[in-house]
Amino acid sequence: MPSPSASHVVIFPFMAQGHTLPLLDLSKALSRQQIKVTIITTPSNAKSIAKCVPNHPDIHLNEIPFPTIDGLPKGCENTSQLPSMEFLLPFLHATKQLQKPFEEVLETMIKSNTPPLCVISDFFLGFTLASCQALGVPRLVFHGTSALSMAIMKSSWVNASQINSLSMLDRVDLPGMKLPFTLTKADLPAETLNASNHDDPMSQFIDEVGWADANSCGIIINSFEELEKDHISFFESFYMNGAKAWCLGPLFLYDKIEGLEKSINQNQNPSMSTQWLDEQSTPDSVIYVSFGTQADVSDSQLDEVAFGLEESGFPFVWVVRSNAWSLPSGMEEKIKDRGLIVSEWVDQRQILSHRAIGGFLSHCGWNSVLESAVAGVPILAWPMMAEQSLNAKLVVDGFGAGLSVKRVQNQGPEILVSRQAISEGVKELMGGQKGRSARERAEALGRVARRAVQKDGSSHDTLSKLIDQLRAY
């Protein structure tokens, strides 16, 4: 095994915003501990990453080309550019072709006597394990979500055949797990429910990267011990070789401490949404609406959101990802003084921390959950895909820091959530008793989350221990 240079870590994020952003935050946290970081990524992702890490001389980018493959639109290097989630599997397979250039980067580092202490790579980039093992570099894995959700998914994967015999609304009991909410089969991600279908290409892919995950020598978790302590050892039991889970989050908060906040804020011009929010005089009066960077939302469902927000009577800022959709006729006039619809990238963290924001209609991607909690903003939970139902249950039933939107049953697949459900949910969250109590719980959770990254906080201490451990490998 080559002797690692004292202070150098390689980070290889998966090309999806929700996976990349927290690893950029981790890069900043490491660089502030005198660890040099090399981020490996592809050319178009490098451009957006460079904008996120402009003031960090110890963070370097190393670009490797993204492969051109049949079945994937040309120039598509990030899941947010996929025409729909149907392209996810070809995209995942394309990333496997990054193995050779990745190895070449590591080999060059080793030859030039600057081997990294470790590689931290995303769960989806399972091929990195074999390369790291061949070159004698430890690989730590990053999933992007909580240890609780990962533990539920891993346990469900193992127990898939028993779970498959249940009906969707049946309660699922996972052996050895004490859950903070009642889990039903319907809460489990579609991929997990398909685990026992060994002919399914997505199951095969997850099996492959899951094996690499389980054989990694550590797991980076964007969460904090206070939240995860009851199930962390159960989660670790799915790993070989005594791998430890390191709870270092919320990672984005490392940006906000010890003077860095100042330098970052100085670089920011107030955005259109911030200016709009500044004009709203009542604190906690505006609902922020965003469904993350991956979920496909149909045009008819977007129409229903527009009607629901309008009917609720509350002001809103709504980030819409679809370029093809436009407001139903007559709606623009009705909402012009009360709503801001944005189709470009916004600074979500900044929006959530604005005093005018009082609630978040969210798909419950894990980053959004953390960002909302830290800002003390309660969530109106509308999970759409992946592990989001688990996150939503944790927020609503586990923390009491949100409410759930009511889904329409038996009305066909098109409209999952009606305008009435959206309107009623927004009214209760923003003005009702349940919403008030959810806000108090969100504020309490935010205090614990912020404390975790401060000096002597749990995540802060764990980061120091991780660095010591990396130096000892």
Question: What order do you get walking across the sheet with 8-12 strand by strand?
Answer: 59-63, 36-41, 8-12, 118-122, 139-142, 218-221, 244-247
Question: Which residues between 351 and 370 bind ligand UPG (CB under 6 A)?
Answer: 365-368
∠ Cα 70 71 76 (to 5°): 95
Question: Which residues between 213 and 272 bind ligand UPG (CB under 6 A)?
Answer: none
Site size with ligand UPG, rule: CB under 6 A:
24
Produce one character per residue of 52-79: b if its CB has 16 or more CB atoms within 10 Å, e if not: bbeebebbbbbbbebbeeeebeeebbbb
Distance CA(4)–CA(191), nearest Å, equals 38
10 vs 320 by CB, closer to ligand UPG? 320
Q: Binding ligand UPG by CB under 6 A: which of 349, 354, 439, 450?
A: 349
170 labelled catalytic: no
154 binds ligand UPG (CB under 6 A): no
CB of 376: closest distance to ligand UPG in angstroms? 16
Kindly report each contact of residues 433-439 with a partner whose C-beta sits within 8 Å and lies 24 or more positions away, as own/partner: 434/403, 435/359, 435/378, 435/403, 437/400, 438/378, 438/379, 438/400, 438/401, 438/402, 438/403, 439/284, 439/358, 439/359, 439/376, 439/377, 439/378
22 vs 435 by CB, closer to ligand UPG? 22
121 vs 368 by CB, closer to ligand UPG? 368
CA 461 centroid distance within chain: 23
β-strand partners of 317: 288, 340
Angle between helices 201-214 and 88-95 (to 10 degrees): 40
Distance CA(122)–CA(140), nearest Å, equals 9
Q: Binding ligand UPG by CB under 6 A: which of 4, 12, 13, 19?
A: 19
Q: How many helices and strands (H and E) does the chain possess?
A: 21, 13
141 vs 467 by CB, closer to ligand UPG? 141
CB of 274: closest distance to ligand UPG in angstroms? 13
174-182, 192-200, 268-276, 286-294 -> range binding ligand UPG (CB under 6 A): 286-294
Question: Which residues between 384 and 423 bind ligand UPG (CB under 6 A)?
Answer: 386-388
298 vs 469 by CB, closer to ligand UPG? 298
Distance CA(217)–CA(391), nearest Å, equals 26
294 binds ligand UPG (CB under 6 A): yes
213 labelled catalytic: no
H helix or E strand, kind and range, residue 317: strand 316-319
Q: Binding ligand UPG by CB under 6 A: which of 7, 17, 131, 459?
A: 17
Q: Which of 8, 19, 231, 363 is catalytic?
A: 19
27-35, 163-171, 380-388, 428-436 -> range binding ligand UPG (CB under 6 A): 380-388
8 vs 349 by CB, closer to ligand UPG? 349
292 binds ligand UPG (CB under 6 A): yes
* In the complex, residue closest to ligand UPG by CB: 365
- Looking from the CA of 397 toward its CB, the CA atoms found within 13 Å total 12
Q: Which of 8, 25, 58, 122 is catalytic?
A: 122
Q: Which residues of the shown chain bind ligand UPG in the complex (CB under 6 A)?
A: 17-19, 21, 144-145, 290, 292-294, 319, 345-349, 365-368, 371, 386-388
- The residues carrying an active-site annotation are 19, 122
